[in-house]
């Protein structure tokens, strides 16, 4: 089961708290606290961990800021004190991950008193958004995470006033490869180690070592991150955004790292851009090769994301109403915040209610995904065929977008058309 958010009323077990140890920190705030928007690493003084119950997470992975903390102790707690109206816990999901409860202060948040989060997922994803809590009152708050079992719970970082982030795989249809690239389907890479039988495993990462091999991602967003990994045979890549000046990235490392941020650029206009990564054939003198790995991409956008299970602001009324036949909590791929809802029954509909002037439907396109009908304020506006031939697999991507709506409340509905393939509801993005 995926982390499924439920409203439960229990008291968190108290624990002795100590500040986390040293490490990288990109956050800032009042006396080290989360007093400004941005990312706050687990090493920030605003983060406290219950004494003797947390250890360093696996150093083979590219954690935010370089490190993360994990616990397998039932009752272990982590708290983060911050100032803002929304916050995201950044952690990890895998088949060996556990469960946790999440609370903000001691009051009702988003119509709930306490969130229960299941971190189980089939792909092993690190540095990933676990849960985002919105609609807090302006001012200072404390987020508390408590492990509820003996399986791993990871605290990597926290984002205050987070933007929308879509985590795109290298199999995305907006990714174009030139030259010879080889697949590494290892479960250590984002999206790796999973497949829909009888399909082969298309996830994982791609790598090339010949000069001139190139990958180009076309995206719309305000920042872009390339995820790959350093390694003993890593070479030098040349990276460009919108064809601008190239930045050289040396991917050599003394040991192999997985799911690691290699390049980021923020401050982009909210329009269409390109990111190009090219193998130069050059290398660090200490490297044994010229290999460059492309694992995934993070695209940031403005607005607010509603997960497929979320509620309307400050209520316990579901933002998305499902009619017909749906299967919730699909955890088999790299979905937004861990899960998605699916249906293959014609006429089954998911209707999302929102207030804003723009909206996007976040879904999936691949060989087992079929057409959807899109309805805006009750009117059919488009039918989209989401079939993509192997090996294209598109997750957390914008399937439909509408802008320029009149201010006020609207509905966006997606409806299954055929019984021979699935449709996916992963999330909806709303622009004010």
Instruction: Kindly list the distances between the CA atom of residue 166 and the CA atoms of 121, 183, 377, 432, in Å, as whole numbers in the listed order.
Output: 17, 22, 25, 19
CA dihedral 328→331→332→334, nearest 10 degrees, is 120
Strand partners, 217: 175, 275
pLDDT at 196 over 50: yes
| Judgement on whether residues 84 and 127 belong to the same structural domain of the protein | yes
Give residue-wise pLDDT tens across range 53-84: 999 999 999 999 999 999 999 999 999 999 99
| Judgement on whether residues 143 and 180 belong to the same structural domain of the protein | no
> Do the bridges between strand 247-250 and strand 182-184 make them parallel or antiparallel, or are there none, so unpaired?
unpaired
Residue 185, domain CATH: 2.60.120.260
| Judgement on whether residues 331 and 294 belong to the same structural domain of the protein | no
pLDDT at 20 over 70: no
Mean pLDDT for the chain overall: 91
CB 404 within 8 Å of CB 359:
no
Tell me the backbone φ, ψ of residue 393, rounded to 5 degrees: -140, 120
Residue range of the domain that includes 382: 304-431
| Judgement on whether residues 221 and 263 belong to the same structural domain of the protein | yes
CA dist., res. 206 & res. 217, Å (int):
14
Q: Between 16 and 43, whose confidence is greater?
A: 43
Tell me the backbone φ, ψ of residue 126, rounded to 5 degrees: -115, 165
Task: Tell which of 256, 273, 301 closes a domain.
Answer: 301
| Judgement on whether residues 189 and 265 belong to the same structural domain of the protein | yes
Task: Tell which of 162, 197, 222 closes a domain.
Answer: 162
Percent of residues, the chain, with pLDDT higher than 90: 86
Residue 80: name the closest of 134, 14, 159, 9 by CA: 159
Task: Tell which of 104, 135, 162 closes a domain.
Answer: 162
Q: Name the helix (H) or strand (E) containing 202.
A: none
Number of domains, the chain: 3
Give residue-wise pLDDT tens across range 297-344: 999 999 999 999 999 998 889 999 999 999 999 999 999 999 999 999
Q: Is the peptide bond before 88 cis (omega within 30 degrees of 0)?
A: no
Is 102 part of any domain? yes
Is 8 part of any domain? no
Name the strands in the sheet holding 236-241, side by side, starting at the edge strand that comes first in the sequence.
175-178, 214-221, 271-279, 236-241, 247-250
Give residue-wise pLDDT tens across range 242-258: 999 999 999 999 999 99
């Amino acid at each position: 089961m995926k982390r499924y958010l439920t409203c439960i009323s229990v008291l968190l077990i108290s624990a002795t708290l100590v500040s986390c140890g040293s490490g990288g920190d990109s956050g800032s705030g009042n006396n080290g606290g989360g007093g400004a928007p941005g990312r706050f690493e687990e090493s920030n003084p605003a983060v406290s961990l219950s004494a003797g119950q947390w250890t360093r997470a696996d150093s083979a992975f590219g954690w935010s800021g370089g490190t993360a903390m994990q616990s397998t102790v039932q009752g272990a707690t982590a708290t983060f004190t911050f100032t803002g109206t929304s916050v995201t816990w950044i952690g990890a999901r895998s088949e060996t991950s556990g469960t946790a409860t999440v609370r903000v202060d001691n009051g009702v948040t988003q119509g709930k008193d306490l969130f229960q989060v299941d971190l189980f997922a089939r792909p092993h994803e690190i540095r990933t958004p676990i849960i985002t809590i919105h609609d807090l009152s302006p001012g200072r708050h404390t987020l508390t995470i408590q492990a509820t079992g003996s399986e791993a719970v990871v605290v990597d970082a926290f984002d205050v006033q987070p933007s929308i982030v879509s985590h795109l795989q290298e199999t995305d249809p907006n990714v174009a490869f030139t030259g010879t690239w080889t697949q590494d389907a290892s479960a250590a890479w984002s999206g790796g180690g999973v497949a829909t039988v009888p399909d082969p495993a298309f996830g994982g990462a791609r790598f090339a070592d010949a000069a001139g091999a190139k990958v180009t991602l076309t995206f719309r967003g305000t920042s872009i991150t390339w995820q790959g990994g350093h390694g003993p045979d890593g070479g030098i890549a040349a990276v460009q955004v919108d064809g601008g000046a190239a930045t050289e990235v040396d991917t050599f490392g003394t040991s192999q790292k997985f799911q690691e941020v290699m390049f980021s650029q923020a401050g982009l206009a909210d329009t269409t851009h390109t990111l190009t990564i090219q193998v130069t054939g050059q290398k660090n003198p200490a490297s044994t090769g010229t290999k460059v790995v492309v694992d995934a991409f993070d695209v940031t956008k403005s607005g607010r994301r509603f997960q497929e299970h979320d509620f309307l602001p400050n209520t316990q009324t579901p933002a998305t109403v499902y009619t017909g036949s749906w299967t919730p909590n699909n955890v088999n791929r790299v979905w937004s915040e861990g899960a998605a809802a699916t249906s293959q029954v014609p006429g089954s509909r998911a209707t999302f209610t929102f207030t804003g002037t723009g909206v996007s439907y976040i879904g999936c396109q691949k060989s087992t995904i079929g057409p959807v009908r899109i309805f805006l304020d009750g009117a059919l506006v488009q039918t989209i065929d989401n079939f993509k031939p192997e090996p294209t697999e598109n997750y957390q991507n914008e399937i439909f977008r509408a802008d320029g709506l009149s201010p006020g409340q609207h509905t966006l509905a997606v409806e299954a058309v055929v019984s021979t393939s699935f449709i996916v509801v992963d999330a909806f993005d709303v622009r004010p």
